[in-house]
Structure formats: structure tokens, C-alpha cells
């Protein structure tokens, strides 16, 4: 059964489309599509395509796409530069780890995500294509993030894995590769990669949910905190600004 996010989206007053990360054998049903072109570095950052998502278009990626190496590596294990060059770039040029040894350990960590097909589609969620979805991302301000975090913990038991993680990763890796099990109900706070944040509004973060977690969030009703006093008080404090991003659009 396809989940219905209507109640949740109303509570959030979400002004950004839900973005699906899909893995499919045929990209055509996801049209209108946009293909990745040359970007600001060795390849385009997938988040440069946010204006296309806002316009209803879906970014189509294959192992041959001209996108940054992080996206190709996290989806298909495609290496666009040598191991030593990659480590030198991340450690010496960008200073992302305290030592070269720690940088090597991160690079050598086994991949968690393996695409089933050669087509990755990133764009507005279309429920008729839900079978191909691997994760769903909410782009939210801090207030909306707090609502989703509460929702993720709503059915959580302390003897189970944490329902929300905040891992270190590339922005594209945060869309799927950070999850150990995409069939488990879990979410990740993302868009924390400073290499891609300049293409987003300053107050916008990502909350990426696996399908089981998304379905749990969609099942929230007014018996939950969505219909109770804490959230009502927060909405009253924000007034007409509830759900509105305070930053300029990217």
C-alpha cells in the first residue's frame, strides 16, 4: 500500500517538494528528466539541480553521468580518481580528517549502498513509482526538522537502533549510502556537507527517510503530537511564518 503523506505535509506546511531517490530499470516513466552536465568542478554537484526539482523535473544519473565523483562512487562504486589522489585531496587540500590514516580508513570503508540498476532518478516523489524509491528526503527548516525528529522517535524502543542518525558523508552519500539497512525504519539528517551547502538556502537541511520510516511518518495522526499542545504552541509563535524558510533561495 502506498503511504499518504497529506496529513504530515499539512502539519509541516512544507514548501519544498518531497525528493525521491529512486533506482529503476527504465528512466522514461520519471519524465520530465534532466541530464547532468558539466558543473563547477570535475562534474556537476547533484544539488545544483534543485531548481529543476522545484520545477517538477527529475535528475537522471547513470555510471557515465558527468557528476561529481562522490555521487558515482556512492551509487555504483565508480572511481573517478586514484585512491591516493582522492585521499590527498580530501585530507591535505580540504582537511576533512585529523590524519591521513583516518582519511584512508574512511575511504576504505565498505560501501553500504549498491544500486540495483544503472539508472538513479532524483526528483519529486511520485507515488505511482513508489516501488522504485529507495529513500525520500524532506528539505526543511529547523522547526520542521524538529517535527520530523519527533515523528521518527514516536514508535521507537530504546532497545532498537537509533531512528535518526547524523553521519559524516558527502551530500549525495547522505541520500542513501549512509544507511546500513534501507529496509529498516531510519532517517538521516543531511545536507551537512559543506562542499554542497553553497547551493542551498542557509537555513535548509535535509531529513532523509528510508521507506519504512517514511511510512511510519505518514501514519502519524492527531492522536500523536501533531494534534497536541507543544506543536500548536510552536505554530502560534511562528504565526504566518510557520514553515517558511528564512534564507534566500539557492
- The domain locations on the chain are 6-240
Say if residue 149's pLDDT is above 60: yes
Look at residue 244 in the predicted model and tell me its pLDDT: 78
pLDDT band of residue 246 (cuts 50, 70, 90) is low
Q: Could you tell me if 205 and 174 are in contact, meaning their C-beta atoms sit under 8 angstroms apart?
A: no
Q: How far apart are CA 236 and CA 135, in angstroms?
A: 32
- Which residue matches cell numbers 513509482? 129
Cell numbers given for 15: 514548501
Arithmetic mean of pLDDT over the chain: 92
Q: Note the pLDDT of residue 206.
A: 98
Q: What pLDDT was estimated at residue 248?
A: 40
The pLDDT assigned to 111 comes to 79
Look at residue 209 and give its three-state secondary structure: strand
Q: Are strands 133-140 and 19-24 parallel, antiparallel or unpaired?
A: antiparallel
Q: Give the pLDDT score at 196.
A: 92
38 pLDDT higher than 70 = no
Identify the pLDDT of residue 42: 57
61 - beta bridge partners? Answer: 120
What is the rounded (10 degree) CA torsion for 81, 86, 92, 97?
Answer: 170
Q: Which of 18-27, 38-47, 64-73 has the lowest mean pLDDT?
A: 38-47
pLDDT, mean of residues 119-140? 97
Amino acid at each position: 500500500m502506498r503511504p499518504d503523506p497529506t496529513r504530515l505535509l499539512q502539519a509541516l506546511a512544507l514548501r519544498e517538494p518531497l525528493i525521491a531517490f529512486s533506482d529503476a530499470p527504465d528512466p522514461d516513466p520519471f519524465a520530465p528528466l534532466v541530464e547532468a552536465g558539466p558543473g563547477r568542478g570535475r562534474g556537476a554537484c547533484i544539488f545544483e539541480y534543485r531548481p529543476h526539482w522545484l520545477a517538477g523535473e527529475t535528475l537522471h544519473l547513470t555510471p557515465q553521468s558527468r557528476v561529481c565523483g562522490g555521487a558515482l562512487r556512492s551509487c555504483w562504486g565508480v572511481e573517478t580518481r586514484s585512491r591516493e589522489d582522492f585521499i590527498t585531496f580530501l585530507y591535505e587540500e580540504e582537511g576533512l580528517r585529523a590524519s591521513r590514516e583516518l582519511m584512508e580508513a574512511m575511504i576504505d570503508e565498505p560501501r553500504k549502498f549498491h544500486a540495483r540498476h544503472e539508472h538513479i532518478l532524483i526528483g519529486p516523489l511520485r507515488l505511482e513509482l513508489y516501488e522504485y524509491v529507495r529513500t525520500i528526503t524532506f528539505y526543511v527548516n529547523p522547526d520542521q526538522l524538529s517535527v520530523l525528529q519527533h515523528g521518527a522517535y514516536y514508535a521507537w524502543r530504546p532497545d532498537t537502533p537509533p531512528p535518526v542518525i547524523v553521519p559524516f558523508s558527502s551530500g549525495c552519500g547522505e541520500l542513501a549510502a549512509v544507511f546500513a539497512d534501507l529496509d529498516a525504519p531510519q532517517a538521516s539528517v543531511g545536507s551537512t556537507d559543506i562542499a554542497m551547502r553553497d547551493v542551498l538556502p542557509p537555513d535548509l537541511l535535509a531529513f532523509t527517510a528510508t521507506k519504512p520510516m517514511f511510512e511510519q511518518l505518514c501514519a502519524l495522526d492527531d492522536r500523536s503530537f501533531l494534534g497536541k499542545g507543544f506543536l500548536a504552541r510552536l505554530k502560534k509563535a511562528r504565526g504566518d511564518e510557520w514553515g517558511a524558510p528564512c534564507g534566500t533561495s539557492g
